[in-house]
Structure 1
Amino acid sequence: MNDLNLDDEIRQKIIEMMNQGSSTLEIYKKTCEILFFQHGIMPTPTRLYALVRKGSMTTPGKAIQEFLAQQREKGRIELDIPEMPESLKTMFTEALKETWRVASQISSTKVREQNEQHQRELNRFTQQIEQLDIKNQALESRIDEMKQILAERDIYVSALQKEVGEGKTKLSLESNRLAIATDQCEELKKQLDKARHDFIAESHRMSQEHEQGLARLKDHENRALMEIERERQAANKAIKDVTNALKLREDELRQRDNKFLELASELEVSGRDLSAAKTKLEMTTADLQTIRISFEEQTRLNGQLKARLEQLSARHNITHQKNSRRKTMKQSHD
Structure 2
Amino acid sequence: MSDVLSPDAALAADIERLKAEFPKTRELYREVCALLFFRHGITPTANRLYQLVKRGSMGTPTAVLGEFWTELREKSRVRIEHPDLPTDLSAAAGELVATLWTRATASADTALDALRAEVLAQQAESQQLVIAARDELGRVETALEQRTAALLAAQVEVRELDRAQAEGHAQRRALEAELARISAALAARDRELREVREGFSRDLAKQRQAAERAEERLRASEKRALLEIDRERSTATKLHKELDEATRRADRKYADHRRVIEATQAQLGDARHQAGVLQGRLDAVRAENVRLQTEVMTLREAGQSGVPAAVRKTSRSTRSSRAVPTAKAATRRKKAV
Regarding TM over 0.5, the answer is: no
More contact order relative to length (CA 8 Å, sep ≥ 6): 1
TM-score when scaled to structure 1? Answer: 0.31
